[in-house]
Protein backbone atom coordinates (compact mmCIF):
# COMPACT_ATOMS: atom_id res chain seq x y z
CA UNK A 1 0.00 0.00 0.00
CA UNK A 2 1.57 3.28 -1.13
CA UNK A 3 1.35 6.49 0.85
CA UNK A 4 -0.29 9.50 -0.84
CA UNK A 5 2.09 12.01 -2.44
CA UNK A 6 3.19 14.99 -0.39
CA UNK A 7 2.63 18.62 -1.39
CA UNK A 8 6.31 19.06 -2.26
CA UNK A 9 6.18 16.03 -4.56
CA UNK A 10 3.17 17.59 -6.32
CA UNK A 11 4.97 20.96 -6.48
CA UNK A 12 2.25 22.62 -4.40
CA UNK A 13 2.55 25.30 -1.72
CA UNK A 14 -0.03 26.63 0.72
CA UNK A 15 -0.49 30.39 0.71
CA UNK A 16 0.20 31.78 4.21
CA UNK A 17 -2.27 34.63 3.67
CA UNK A 18 -5.43 33.02 2.27
CA UNK A 19 -4.70 29.28 2.54
CA UNK A 20 -4.98 28.50 -1.18
CA UNK A 21 -3.02 25.50 -2.49
CA UNK A 22 -0.88 27.03 -5.26
CA UNK A 23 1.17 25.52 -8.05
CA UNK A 24 4.85 26.44 -7.66
CA UNK A 25 5.67 25.80 -11.33
CA UNK A 26 7.10 28.80 -13.14
CA UNK A 27 7.80 32.35 -12.00
CA UNK A 28 6.94 34.52 -10.17
CA UNK A 29 5.73 32.60 -7.13
CA UNK A 30 2.66 34.59 -6.14
CA UNK A 31 -0.75 33.49 -4.94
CA UNK A 32 -3.24 33.78 -7.82
CA UNK A 33 -6.01 34.74 -5.39
CA UNK A 34 -4.44 37.33 -3.06
CA UNK A 35 -1.09 38.07 -4.83
CA UNK A 36 0.88 37.24 -1.67
CA UNK A 37 4.46 35.97 -2.22
CA UNK A 38 4.80 32.20 -1.91
CA UNK A 39 7.58 30.35 -0.13
CA UNK A 40 8.09 26.61 0.10
CA UNK A 41 9.52 27.10 3.56
CA UNK A 42 9.65 30.06 5.94
CA UNK A 43 13.06 31.70 5.53
CA UNK A 44 15.42 31.29 8.53
CA UNK A 45 12.50 29.99 10.56
CA UNK A 46 14.38 28.84 13.68
CA UNK A 47 16.66 31.87 13.85
CA UNK A 48 13.84 34.37 13.53
CA UNK A 49 11.63 32.48 15.98
CA UNK A 50 14.36 32.44 18.63
CA UNK A 51 15.12 36.15 18.05
CA UNK A 52 11.48 37.24 18.35
CA UNK A 53 10.95 35.09 21.44
CA UNK A 54 14.02 36.46 23.23
CA UNK A 55 12.87 39.99 22.40
CA UNK A 56 9.44 39.18 23.86
CA UNK A 57 11.07 37.76 27.00
CA UNK A 58 13.14 40.94 27.38
CA UNK A 59 9.99 43.08 27.25
CA UNK A 60 8.00 40.68 29.45
CA UNK A 61 9.95 41.66 32.60
CA UNK A 62 9.31 45.45 32.49
CA UNK A 63 5.75 44.79 31.29
CA UNK A 64 5.02 43.10 34.62
CA UNK A 65 7.18 45.29 36.87
CA UNK A 66 6.34 48.76 35.55
CA UNK A 67 2.92 50.40 36.10
CA UNK A 68 0.44 50.05 33.25
CA UNK A 69 -2.02 52.71 34.40
CA UNK A 70 -2.54 55.48 36.95
CA UNK A 71 -5.94 55.69 38.62
CA UNK A 72 -7.11 58.89 40.28
CA UNK A 73 -10.18 58.63 42.52
CA UNK A 74 -11.43 61.44 44.75
CA UNK A 75 -8.23 63.39 44.30
CA UNK A 76 -5.81 60.58 45.20
CA UNK A 77 -3.88 58.76 42.50
CA UNK A 78 -1.94 55.51 42.42
CA UNK A 79 0.05 53.58 39.83
CA UNK A 80 -0.95 49.97 39.14
CA UNK A 81 1.05 47.14 37.66
CA UNK A 82 -0.66 44.22 35.95
CA UNK A 83 -0.55 42.03 39.06
CA UNK A 84 -1.61 44.78 41.44
CA UNK A 85 -4.49 45.59 39.10
CA UNK A 86 -5.55 41.94 39.16
CA UNK A 87 -5.54 41.98 42.98
CA UNK A 88 -7.49 45.25 43.13
CA UNK A 89 -10.18 43.97 40.77
CA UNK A 90 -10.41 40.74 42.79
CA UNK A 91 -10.71 42.58 46.14
CA UNK A 92 -13.45 44.84 44.78
CA UNK A 93 -15.52 41.85 43.61
CA UNK A 94 -14.74 42.11 39.88
CA UNK A 95 -13.28 38.60 39.84
CA UNK A 96 -14.23 38.02 36.20
CA UNK A 97 -12.16 41.00 35.02
CA UNK A 98 -9.33 39.93 37.34
CA UNK A 99 -9.28 36.43 35.84
CA UNK A 100 -9.34 37.76 32.28
CA UNK A 101 -6.41 40.12 32.90
CA UNK A 102 -4.40 37.43 34.75
CA UNK A 103 -4.93 34.82 32.04
CA UNK A 104 -4.29 37.16 29.11
CA UNK A 105 -1.36 39.09 30.64
CA UNK A 106 0.54 36.49 32.66
CA UNK A 107 -0.65 32.96 31.88
CA UNK A 108 -0.94 33.19 28.07
CA UNK A 109 2.52 34.70 27.43
CA UNK A 110 4.05 32.16 29.83
CA UNK A 111 2.37 29.26 28.03
CA UNK A 112 3.54 30.60 24.67
CA UNK A 113 7.14 30.93 25.88
CA UNK A 114 7.18 27.35 27.17
CA UNK A 115 5.43 25.90 24.10
CA UNK A 116 7.65 27.69 21.58
CA UNK A 117 10.80 26.72 23.48
CA UNK A 118 9.68 23.08 23.45
CA UNK A 119 8.98 23.21 19.72
CA UNK A 120 12.28 24.90 18.90
CA UNK A 121 14.42 22.59 21.03
CA UNK A 122 12.80 19.39 19.75
CA UNK A 123 13.10 20.53 16.12
CA UNK A 124 16.76 21.46 16.52
CA UNK A 125 17.46 18.09 18.14
CA UNK A 126 15.63 16.37 15.24
CA UNK A 127 13.40 14.62 17.76
CA UNK A 128 10.88 12.03 16.56
CA UNK A 129 8.93 12.35 19.80
CA UNK A 130 5.17 13.08 19.58
CA UNK A 131 5.19 14.75 16.16
CA UNK A 132 1.41 14.86 15.90
CA UNK A 133 1.02 16.27 19.42
CA UNK A 134 3.65 18.93 18.75
CA UNK A 135 1.81 19.98 15.60
CA UNK A 136 -1.36 20.35 17.66
CA UNK A 137 0.59 22.35 20.25
CA UNK A 138 1.69 24.78 17.54
CA UNK A 139 -1.91 25.21 16.37
CA UNK A 140 -2.89 25.90 19.99
CA UNK A 141 -0.19 28.58 20.26
CA UNK A 142 -1.53 30.18 17.09
CA UNK A 143 -5.08 30.07 18.48
CA UNK A 144 -4.37 31.72 21.82
CA UNK A 145 -2.33 34.41 20.10
CA UNK A 146 -5.54 36.01 18.86
CA UNK A 147 -6.63 36.63 22.49
CA UNK A 148 -3.36 38.20 23.67
CA UNK A 149 -4.68 41.76 23.54
CA UNK A 150 -7.83 40.94 25.50
CA UNK A 151 -6.62 42.46 28.76
CA UNK A 152 -5.60 45.69 26.99
CA UNK A 153 -9.18 45.96 25.75
CA UNK A 154 -10.46 45.32 29.28
CA UNK A 155 -8.25 48.09 30.69
CA UNK A 156 -9.49 50.43 27.95
CA UNK A 157 -13.08 49.51 28.79
CA UNK A 158 -12.55 50.14 32.50
CA UNK A 159 -10.94 53.49 31.72
CA UNK A 160 -13.92 54.45 29.55
CA UNK A 161 -16.37 53.47 32.29
CA UNK A 162 -14.50 55.46 34.93
CA UNK A 163 -14.42 58.57 32.76
CA UNK A 164 -18.05 58.12 31.71
CA UNK A 165 -19.30 57.87 35.29
CA UNK A 166 -17.09 60.79 36.37
CA UNK A 167 -15.65 58.67 39.18
CA UNK A 168 -12.10 59.71 38.53
CA UNK A 169 -9.46 59.55 35.87
CA UNK A 170 -7.23 56.83 34.39
CA UNK A 171 -4.05 57.44 32.46
CA UNK A 172 -1.82 54.86 30.74
CA UNK A 173 1.73 54.30 31.93
CA UNK A 174 4.85 52.99 30.22
CA UNK A 175 4.16 49.38 31.26
CA UNK A 176 1.30 49.09 28.78
CA UNK A 177 3.75 49.89 25.96
CA UNK A 178 6.07 47.05 27.02
CA UNK A 179 3.14 44.67 27.26
CA UNK A 180 2.03 45.61 23.76
CA UNK A 181 5.55 44.82 22.55
CA UNK A 182 5.38 41.43 24.29
CA UNK A 183 2.15 40.64 22.43
CA UNK A 184 3.58 41.72 19.07
CA UNK A 185 6.86 39.81 19.40
CA UNK A 186 5.22 36.61 20.68
CA UNK A 187 2.86 36.69 17.70
CA UNK A 188 5.79 37.28 15.34
CA UNK A 189 7.63 34.40 16.97
CA UNK A 190 4.70 32.02 16.45
CA UNK A 191 4.26 33.21 12.86
CA UNK A 192 7.97 32.70 12.09
CA UNK A 193 8.01 29.08 13.22
CA UNK A 194 7.56 26.60 10.37
CA UNK A 195 5.56 23.59 11.66
CA UNK A 196 6.72 21.51 8.68
CA UNK A 197 10.11 21.29 10.39
CA UNK A 198 8.47 18.95 12.90
CA UNK A 199 7.89 16.39 10.15
CA UNK A 200 11.27 16.62 8.42
CA UNK A 201 13.03 13.23 8.23
CA UNK A 202 9.92 11.51 9.53
CA UNK A 203 9.93 7.75 8.87
CA UNK A 204 7.41 6.47 6.34
CA UNK A 205 4.73 4.82 8.46
CA UNK A 206 3.55 2.78 5.52
CA UNK A 207 6.84 0.88 5.36
CA UNK A 208 6.21 -0.41 8.85
CA UNK A 209 3.00 -2.16 7.80
CA UNK A 210 3.18 -5.81 6.64
CA UNK A 211 2.74 -6.26 2.91
CA UNK A 212 0.21 -9.09 2.77
CA UNK A 213 0.33 -9.28 -1.00
CA UNK A 214 3.94 -10.51 -1.01
CA UNK A 215 4.37 -12.16 2.38
CA UNK A 216 3.20 -15.72 3.02
CA UNK A 217 0.63 -16.14 5.77
CA UNK A 218 1.89 -18.54 8.47
CA UNK A 219 0.22 -21.96 8.32
CA UNK A 220 -0.76 -21.67 4.65
CA UNK A 221 1.03 -22.61 1.49
CA UNK A 222 1.43 -20.26 -1.39
CA UNK A 223 -0.50 -21.27 -4.47
Written as tens digits, the pLDDT of the chain (223 aa) is 566 777 777 778 878 778 788 887 776 678 888 888 877 777 788 999 999 999 999 998 898 888 877 766 555 667 777 788 778 778 877 787 778 778 877 888 888 899 999 999 998 888 888 888 888 998 888 887 766 666 566 666 666 655 555 555 667 778 878 888 888 898 889 888 888 888 776 665 433 444 443 334 344 444 3
Q: How far apart are CA 80 and CA 83, in angstroms?
A: 8
Q: Which ranges of 66-171 would DSSP assign to H, the alpha helix?
A: 82-91, 95-102, 108-124, 131-145, 150-164
Q: How far apart are CA 175 and CA 41, in angstroms?
A: 36
Amino acid sequence: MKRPPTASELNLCLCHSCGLACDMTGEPHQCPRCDAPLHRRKTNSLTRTWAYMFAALAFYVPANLLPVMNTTLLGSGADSTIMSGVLEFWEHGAWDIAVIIFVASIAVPGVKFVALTLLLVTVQRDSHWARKERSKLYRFVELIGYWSMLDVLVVALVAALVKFQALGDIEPRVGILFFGLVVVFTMLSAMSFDPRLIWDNAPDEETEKPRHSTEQVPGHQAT
